[in-house]
Structure 1
Amino acid sequence: MLGGVETRSVSPVFVGRADELAVLTDALTRAAGQEPQALLIGGEAGVGKTRLTEEFLSEATRRGAVVAVGGCVEIGAEGLPFAPFSTALRGLHRLLPEELAAAAAGQEDELARILPELGETARGPHDEESTARLFELTARMLERLAADRTLVLVLEDLHWADASTRHLLAYLFRALGSGRLVVVATYRADDVHRRHPLRPLLAELDRLRTVVRIELPRFNRAEVRRQLAGILASRPDEEFVDSVFERSDGNAFFVEELVACRENDCRAGLTESLRDLLLVRVEVLPDAAQRVVRIVAEGGSTVEYPLLRAVAGLTEDELIEALRAAVGANILLATPEGDGYRFRHSLVREAVSDDLLPGERARVNRRYAEAVEADESLLRAEERTIRLASYWYCANDPAKALPAVLAASVTARCRHAYSEQLRLLERALDLWDSAPEEVRSRLRPADYTEVYPPCGCDPAATPLHRLDLVAEATVAARFGGERERALKMTKTALRMLEDGHDPLREAWFWTERSRLVASLGRGDGWEELARAQELVKGLPPSQVHADVLVRAAGWGMLHNPGPDNLAAAERAVAYARMVGAEETELNARITVASMLTDAGEPEAGFAELHTVLERATELGLTVIAGRVHINLSSQLEAMGRSREAVELAERGVELVSRSRLLDTEAWVCGNMAESLYNLGRWDEATEAAGRTLRVGQSAAPRGSASARLGYLALARGELTEAATQLAAAHAHFGTHDTQPQHRIPLYRLAIGIAEGAGRIADVRAETTDAIAAGFPLGQHRYAWPLLLASASAEADARGLPAAEAGRTAALRMLRDAARRLATPAPVWTAHADYLRAELLRAEGLDTVADWTAVEAAIRPLERPYLLARAGHRLAEARLAAGCDREDAADLLREAHATADRLGSRRLREDLALLARRARIPLAPDLPRAAPAQDGDPVEALGLTSRERDVLRLVAAGNTNRQIAEELFISPKTASVHVSNILAKLGVHGRGEAAALAHRLRLFVPVAG
């Protein structure tokens, strides 16, 4: 309405940012090639970030890009959740309504949390994955929208960004993988002090190679001269240039302000204070215009015209005249949509706001609050509650502020903006004691919290308690990823409950503390759960009692499965039924069913899991259905039913990915990776484990995925990669919560790495520790492969001098451990047979009959890698015994083909060497190699005759000096030979070389 009446204080000439503009326009070009671009523009207030952005957007528009701009909003001490994204997406909704609707199709209820125009938001679920789901959906929507058009998204004033906006921006910068999208964010660098919440994000983004950061310097003198020439439309006087440059110090905005002051003849009012410089043009406005400017300064970054009219107390003509004066002085600007006003520069708004008297500020905020309460149409619904809370808070009215802040916290929760919900709840706790008792007594938990009081009272009739807010804030902190703060809140709450008068509340906080302690790696959570169980003991059935029992049973299932924990889980089911908590009951039934399977009743357990799945699907409880898919696919694998496990996991991934249950998806994918590995579908297993790492939000599924990748690397013969993945898994799992399902696989991986490196002492140490830690009920699926790996290492090291000491004790330990392990399915019976044969091989007592039985037990199991390894050993035994060579040849060829298909370099080389030693061609249609050429097994390794002699002595444990004495060469020459041998064998040390020689039995004759 008044956009054309401003005086000219802005240069029409774009000055001094050619290099920066070139970087931005280059990003446009790259984005056009389906490479999403991310850029950060930083600089002090007034240095020219907005002008650079405007020039870039003009160029983007000229090239046909679709442009959307959103700014972070400073409202009191709180920012609006997702404000810049909401504004930018609203702009896209106006520009591309049909395209945006198509990009959001099927997820409108979730995406409405950021863009309310898409419809009603879903009621839930609220959990630690909620925000991640919303972020993922937003990223995918933007990718779809930018699939066939260049889309430029600009987010301004990131220094005011709320935590949810910062987290979403960081997610987008990492997750965007395709589309013609450019995301630009600007921030005020001089505001980002050491403790500013934006600072960690900037440091994090600096480490991403995909993010370009542009820092704008101040203008030099020549650039100030060009700016002045553009503003004045003439060559400026050099004395004036010197004066302006000295006073502005090259800040583009201050240059404009100094020129404007000279043009308006207000030099007499200037002082050396920059604050006064910002206020001087406000002070020469008419009184009504000054009053309006002060009102706008307290209204927020932008004030809607109807709201301003309601607050100003002027007639419409008077208000328009006042606005005309403020816009004409280039202090206020009309918004691009024409529905409100904002300051041309935020520095002026801050100066005006700071200049208000405390009582004046409170009065203005009260008038804003009263106007918004009187007319709901003045603001959009999604902004109303947040801004009302800020206005009442700044009005210093606790009676009005407390319910307003609580209502705003509900709005933040509905948008999955848990960090903002937490800040608002903390503000409510600060207001609690100041608010009158009659106000507090009218508040109800049902209106403001989802964590209802655990006392069994009606949340719609019971007054809100301070501890209800602490409980809600604890959960908000956990959902928002601020677990440290959540843990501190539980400590505060438990201190408040020390009098023992409210055992149910106390038990709830101990249960929450158990969860937090475990997730932070401070312990396994059992001590806290034990306290909670003591508190509910003897009390009437309640939701809290049921929750405590369910969590305790789940803890027992993971840490110490057995009859006692099964009974606890069954008790939890009964309690949940008594209090009508069906979701809790279904969770408890999953635990019961899983423990039944571990206890040797798999069919009963499977049937119960399927029943729970049907009921959860019927009720729309996707989180429960997802947990069923995790546990059922795992239990199927435990019984050797890998193909069924994969099929179920695939259905589970489809289900939970639609609801963006990211951690659940990660667990299901991890289980699928394990089953695919056993089925010999290694490329698919690698992809499933990689997906777990991509989508997993928590440490545990990511640790399991690293372990799966470690197993794959080990089986392929990639020891360095296996060791890297083992270290990653340990880092994810931590040291304070050693669940058997996590601990045992890592021991097995460490054993395999040590065996591959020829470190038999380390193999024994890892095995001893693993057996000492124990193999609880249901852990046979991890224990059998561990014992088998250790036994194979002992057998491969037979004859190695360093391995002889302690061999008897090691083999006895393995046999004793195996006797205590269950074999509830054919696959584990086959493992037991395999282990027995390897132990005999370690003693040189294995026979063809032993390996024939192993191979026959494994063949029907659909375990190609295991079968190939058993085939290798059976062929080796047949050749050593002088049996039919054709049978051995068939076994070698079959195993070699499997190893080749899987990509197991180590097994393939072992088989090839055995074939060469026995003069058996692995391709049956090729002629047999001549004995004179292939009779020497060492020759296949490319070693010379002298290196063969050296390797034989290395395998016997000789030092370089002993080798030199034996072969009548110098120790230096012996050292050179050893180095050459290590290089040809592809090993890292003498121990590995000796282990390889013994494993391949290079110096043991094979029957030919």
Structure 2
Amino acid sequence: MLGAVETRSVSPVFVGRAEELGTLHDALARSREGEPQALLIAGEAGVGKTRLVEEFAAAARRRGAVVALGGCVEIGADGLPFAPFSTALRALRRELPGELAAAAAGQEEELARLLPELGESGTGRHDEDGMARLFELTARLLERIAAGHTVVVALEDLHWADASTRHLLAYLFRTLRTGRLVVLATYRSDDIHRRHPLRPLLAELDRLRTVRRLELARFSREEVCRQVAGILAHEPAPDQIDAIFERSDGNAFFVEELAVAGHEGCRTGLTDSLRDLLLVRVEGMPEPAQQVARIVAEGGSTVEYRLLAAVARLAEDDLIEALRAAVNASILAPAPGGDGYRFRHSLVREAVSDDLLPGERSRLNRRYAEALESDPTLVPADQRAARLASYWYHAHDPAKALPAVLDASVEARHRHAYAEQLRLLERAMELWDTAPDAVRRTLRPVDYAEVYPPCGCDPATPLRHLDLLAEAAVAGRLCGERERALKITKRALRLLDDEDDPLRSAWFWIQRSRLVQGLARGDGWKEIATAQELVRGLPPSEVHAEVLATAAHWSMLHEPGPEALTAAERAVEYARMVGADDIESNARLTLGGLMVDAGQIEAGLTHMYEVRDEVVARSLASIVGRSHVNLPSVLEGVGRSEESVGILREGLRLTGAMGLRDAEAWIWSNLAESLISLGRWDEAVEAAGNAQRRGQTAGPHGSGANSLAFLALARGHVPEAARHLAEGRAAYGPHDPMPQHDLPVSCLTIGVAVAEGRLPDARAELARTLESGFPPGTQRYAWPLLLEAATAEADARALPAARDGRAEALDGIFRTVKRLTTNAPVWLAHERWVRAELQRAEGRSTPDTWSEVVTAFEPLERPYDLARVRYRLAESLLTGGGEDERDRATELLRLAHAVARHLAARPLADSVTALAQRARLPLAPVSEPALAPADPAEALGLTSRERDVLRLVAVGHTNRRIAEELFISPKTASVHVSNILAKLGVSGRGEAAAVAHRLGLFPAESLIPRPAG
């Protein structure tokens, strides 16, 4: 034995790493300011990652931080779901029991999936929200704890991490925004080969500016010398340092092994292979200690003492003596925070494991499995199923492995660890044919097939291979492995070709529809239609109800109309008959929205309010989210924006508490839309930004971009509007067109094109949209689009170049107006507005027409729209009106100008100001004298009116057109033109225009007729 040297095999002196340790201390300091820090520590095996983390953790504790360590657990080739997070949360619970309990309050059922000590975890249907909800609640938990304490969460050995752990870590790194929190993770860089599952995560994290990566280099010769001196407790000879440095190449762990082996050189000397070097010290231990080391190597990265005792089958005194020898030789070490043992370095464990014979490895795994079956309390409850499955699988016993693997898959599903569930189910399918028939006949769907509807089968029927395929398909979809899931559904449908089982076939076709949409390979309707044909004429069942509900929901989004309404009604009826409450609630939400679109507004809203109240009372998370997205959206669509905002605010509270991050993002995007309608534009900008930041899917990002594009356009920031429009279009993509996405994008496309002076492009977009048509129920998107196009034509009426194509555009708008629904006040108001713009485009606009439009908008709480139509009414009144009309026009313009100024709607404000100036009307009350803007034409002796006339001359207007623009007679216009020619000393209108351009009297943009907002 090594005597005194053995206790110093880990150098008591911390060597090097000053820069890296400084970075970690800087992160700790920043976190104390409430700015969460994320770090990755990379380095080859043995380079000193763990020692660096230990030194930092000790320093952080001295500074008052709470440190929670967790390590990825490897059993054979398997990782345990969420193992490092469960371990870290246990550590936090030990350190801060009251704070953790308070932070988890109200969400114990969900968080128990990571930390079973919190209580029984919840049950319910598995959907796309489950895992995201668990991740969000975990992030909130850490933020709440870190609000009052500086917390360091360190996760080691990320190269062994299971997929669910990787996904959760990525989520935290992306979303943590507040709290005195440092999250760091270590991994072996030399293990990350091209196909390693950690590689995509590292690439993703590299793109995050909030994540810092530390690469630990090998030691220099000077650092190796200091390390060896610390181990040996004396200054080593230069030739010894040269030899160790050359052999180890600066790897800290190999330096340590070589230093110890050199000290014992009289017995072992230096071997030719570093792998052999790792085994030298193992083989130098007594045989019982070697035996224990081999057992620990095959048991996993950490083995509990009682489990080790059961497998080793040694007398307790002999086992303790063997462990003492292994610990003194620095081969094994007590596991931190637990009653167990692990290899002091994983490289030694891997060397010992690789040295096992195949039969020896199988035998040890069998002994582990038998011990754990005999006494399940030997390991923590949250690890039991996964470890037993791994032991039996590596024992090569299909009869025992198949049920154990299936039990582990159920546990993984229960924890929302869908990636691990998929891997275990694929392992079960691998074992299926080799397991004895007698074993397969004992397996029941009720135990293993939670997501697959029973389709009316007797629960006593044995589990089938199809049941496993169904579970695997859903697990693949929920963990994002859609390609694998699609292949699984293809295999299942091939098997079903030989069976008369339309319900199971229909169920798989519905899964394929969701996968096709998720993979952006189509809209999924072909698959839904196939499922509908399969269930047609069959009695009610859960599958039948789900097919109808899916078809109705698809139609609501893509082709709303009578067929969608009928499908929704049947889905509600069938779901109610078979007691499928969740399907019924979803179908009723769809039905309510379709009823509103069909004109049954109050009846439809009643349906939706009832569902909202029911699912909130039941805390049915996924439908709580949808109800607080769909109901406010429908209210906004019928012009009840204030009511919508109230529900959206409540939805933010509920989805935030439940961790429904994507539903929360949709709520923010809908809130932005309603706030725009209510004229609360600064709040709308913030809401749209939150939608883009919070959303995990493309939908909320695209909707938020559309709102930002509208606001930028209305405020005159055209390049910014074009940029947001491009973002929205890209977010939706071309594979799954929906009116609720496409029509707002088309409306904005027309608006941006007009603002950029591209009227032909605007007309082309209008023609394309009119050709596609407006399905029933899309009037909320159709009316603003038609208004944008009609306004553009009316504003361009005076431009000769715009005449070609105008008739076709106006005709298309007019024909569409006659077909659209107007049975909500907001739709009726828009119909009158569009018709008024069409009349203005034809030169026959009247005050009575615009007065009706203003009257329609006054009760609707839409200040921007009301300001725009008031401006148009004032413009109409000033054309040939008397003094009474001028007084009324003055008041209308003042009201419109006040709103435009408040909203920073510059185009509308400029249009109102220009009209008031041309008509010589004061925008400010008489008691508030307005400051006259400086007139650059004064140096030429031009009056204010002559300046207005010269601007129109420079555009090329005739005297008659100037008279119309300035509300004067043609004769007066002619007199003004004559005076201008005399003052400029020119002989004609063309020369006058040239002088105006040369002297820069008018900005270029002022020479282009501007739309009225």
- TM-score tier, shorter chain, comes to over 0.9
SS at match of 2:579: coil
Corresponding residue for residue 990 of structure 1:
none
SS at match of 2:164: helix
> 8 Å contact 1:791–1:842 — kept in the other structure?
yes
Query: Relative to 1, partners in 2 of residues 1:897 and 1:412: Cα closer, same or farther, differing over 3 Å?
Result: same
1:56 aligns to 2:38 (yes or no): no
SS at match of 2:133: helix
Deviation string 1:6-50 (CA, Å, 9 cap, x unpaired) is 531222222221111111111111111111111111010011111
Distance 2:794 2:298 in 1: 80
Corresponding residue for residue 782 of structure 1:
781
Distance 1:227 1:954 in 2: 90
> 8 Å contact 2:954–2:996 — kept in the other structure?
no
Deviation string 1:795-853 (CA, Å, 9 cap, x unpaired) is 11222232111111111111111111110112211111111111122222212222222
Q: State the 1:520 CA deviation.
A: 2.3
Q: State the 1:504 CA deviation.
A: 1.4
Q: State the 1:731 CA deviation.
A: 1.9
Deviation string 1:300-341 (CA, Å, 9 cap, x unpaired) is 111111111110011011111111111111111112335111
Larger deviation, residues 50-59 vs 720-729: 720-729
Query: Relative to 1, partners in 2 of residues 1:951 and 1:93: Cα closer, same or farther, differing over 3 Å?
Result: farther
Query: Relative to 1, partners in 2 of residues 1:284 and 1:3: Cα closer, same or farther, differing over 3 Å?
Result: closer
Corresponding residue for residue 92 of structure 1:
92
Distance 2:655 2:338 in 1: 43
Corresponding residue for residue 672 of structure 1:
671
Corresponding residue for residue 952 of structure 1:
955
1:295-314 alignment, distance < 5 Å = 295-314=295-314
Corresponding residue for residue 968 of structure 2:
none
1:210-229 alignment, distance < 5 Å = 210-229=210-229
> 8 Å contact 2:588–2:607 — kept in the other structure?
yes
Query: Relative to 1, partners in 2 of residues 1:449 and 1:211: Cα closer, same or farther, differing over 3 Å?
Result: same
Structure 1 unaligned regions, length at least 5: 957-964, 988-992, 1002-1008
Distance 1:64 1:273 in 2: 45
Corresponding residue for residue 568 of structure 2:
569
Question: Which letter does structure 2 place at the counterpart of 1:997?
Answer: P
Distance 1:660 1:73 in 2: 27
Q: TM-score, normalised by structure 2?
A: 0.92
Q: TM-score, normalised by structure 1?
A: 0.92
Larger deviation, residues 621-630 vs 832-841: 621-630
Corresponding residue for residue 833 of structure 2:
834
Q: State the 1:934 CA deviation.
A: 9.7
Distance 1:977 1:69 in 2: 74
Distance 1:324 1:812 in 2: 93
Larger deviation, residues 105-114 vs 577-586: 577-586
Query: Relative to 1, partners in 2 of residues 1:949 and 1:895: Cα closer, same or farther, differing over 3 Å?
Result: closer
1:627 aligns to 2:617 (yes or no): no
SS at match of 1:213: strand
Query: Relative to 1, partners in 2 of residues 1:954 and 1:261: Cα closer, same or farther, differing over 3 Å?
Result: farther
1:375-774 alignment, distance < 5 Å = 375-459=375-459, 461-774=460-773
Corresponding residue for residue 117 of structure 1:
117
Q: State the 1:485 CA deviation.
A: 2.0
SS at match of 2:798: coil
Distance 2:4 2:732 in 1: 62
Distance 1:864 1:751 in 2: 22
Q: State the 1:252 CA deviation.
A: 0.8
1:927 aligns to 2:929 (yes or no): yes
Corresponding residue for residue 900 of structure 2:
899
Deviation string 1:908-940 (CA, Å, 9 cap, x unpaired) is 22222323333333321333677995999x999
Corresponding residue for residue 245 of structure 2:
245
Distance 1:955 1:495 in 2: 77
Q: CA RMSD in A?
A: 2.9
Corresponding residue for residue 887 of structure 1:
888
Larger deviation, residues 674-683 vs 288-297: 674-683
SS at match of 1:209: coil
Question: Which letter does structure 1 place at the counterpart of 2:887?
Answer: E
Corresponding residue for residue 909 of structure 2:
908
Deviation string 1:96-120 (CA, Å, 9 cap, x unpaired) is 1111111111111111111111111
SS at match of 2:148: coil
Larger deviation, residues 921-930 vs 44-53: 921-930
Distance 2:671 2:253 in 1: 59
Query: Relative to 1, partners in 2 of residues 1:595 and 1:583: Cα closer, same or farther, differing over 3 Å?
Result: same
Distance 2:795 2:261 in 1: 89
Query: Relative to 1, partners in 2 of residues 1:907 and 1:338: Cα closer, same or farther, differing over 3 Å?
Result: same
Q: State the 1:581 CA deviation.
A: 2.2
Larger deviation, residues 568-577 vs 195-204: 568-577
Question: Which letter does structure 2 place at the counterpart of 1:484?
Answer: E
> 8 Å contact 2:908–2:1012 — kept in the other structure?
no
Corresponding residue for residue 359 of structure 1:
359
Structure 2 unaligned regions, length at least 5: 960-987
Distance 2:167 2:80 in 1: 14
Q: State the 1:432 CA deviation.
A: 1.0
Query: Relative to 1, partners in 2 of residues 1:923 and 1:753: Cα closer, same or farther, differing over 3 Å?
Result: same
> 8 Å contact 2:954–2:992 — kept in the other structure?
no
Corresponding residue for residue 918 of structure 1:
919
> 8 Å contact 2:907–2:1010 — kept in the other structure?
no
SS at match of 1:152: strand
Larger deviation, residues 917-926 vs 846-855: 917-926
> 8 Å contact 1:639–1:824 — kept in the other structure?
no
Deviation string 1:427-457 (CA, Å, 9 cap, x unpaired) is 1111111111111111111112212354311
Corresponding residue for residue 13 of structure 1:
13
Distance 1:849 1:146 in 2: 64
Distance 2:421 2:595 in 1: 41
> 8 Å contact 2:66–2:150 — kept in the other structure?
yes
Q: State the 1:947 CA deviation.
A: 11
Query: Relative to 1, partners in 2 of residues 1:969 and 1:833: Cα closer, same or farther, differing over 3 Å?
Result: closer
1:279-318 alignment, distance < 5 Å = 279-318=279-318
SS at match of 1:822: coil
Corresponding residue for residue 196 of structure 2:
196
> 8 Å contact 1:917–1:935 — kept in the other structure?
no
Corresponding residue for residue 978 of structure 2:
none
- Between the aligned residues of both structures, percent identity stands at 62
> 8 Å contact 2:262–2:270 — kept in the other structure?
no
Deviation string 1:581-620 (CA, Å, 9 cap, x unpaired) is 2332332233222222221211221222233334444554
Deviation string 1:34-83 (CA, Å, 9 cap, x unpaired) is 11111111010011111111111121112111111111111223211111
Larger deviation, residues 342-351 vs 61-70: 61-70
Q: State the 1:629 CA deviation.
A: 3.3
> 8 Å contact 1:799–1:998 — kept in the other structure?
no
> 8 Å contact 1:270–1:276 — kept in the other structure?
no
Distance 2:947 2:640 in 1: 49
Corresponding residue for residue 128 of structure 1:
128
Corresponding residue for residue 1004 of structure 1:
none
Question: Which letter does structure 2 place at the counterpart of 1:208?
Answer: L
Q: State the 1:715 CA deviation.
A: 1.9
Q: State the 1:347 CA deviation.
A: 0.6
Q: State the 1:522 CA deviation.
A: 1.2
1:814-833 alignment, distance < 5 Å = 814-833=813-832
Corresponding residue for residue 232 of structure 1:
232
Deviation string 1:466-518 (CA, Å, 9 cap, x unpaired) is 11111111111111122222222212211222224222111111011112212
Distance 2:34 2:894 in 1: 47
> 8 Å contact 1:419–1:477 — kept in the other structure?
yes
Corresponding residue for residue 962 of structure 1:
none
> 8 Å contact 2:262–2:269 — kept in the other structure?
no
Corresponding residue for residue 965 of structure 2:
none
Deviation string 1:156-192 (CA, Å, 9 cap, x unpaired) is 1111111111111111112111111111111100001
SS at match of 1:7: helix
1:932-947 alignment, distance < 5 Å = 933=935
SS at match of 1:775: coil
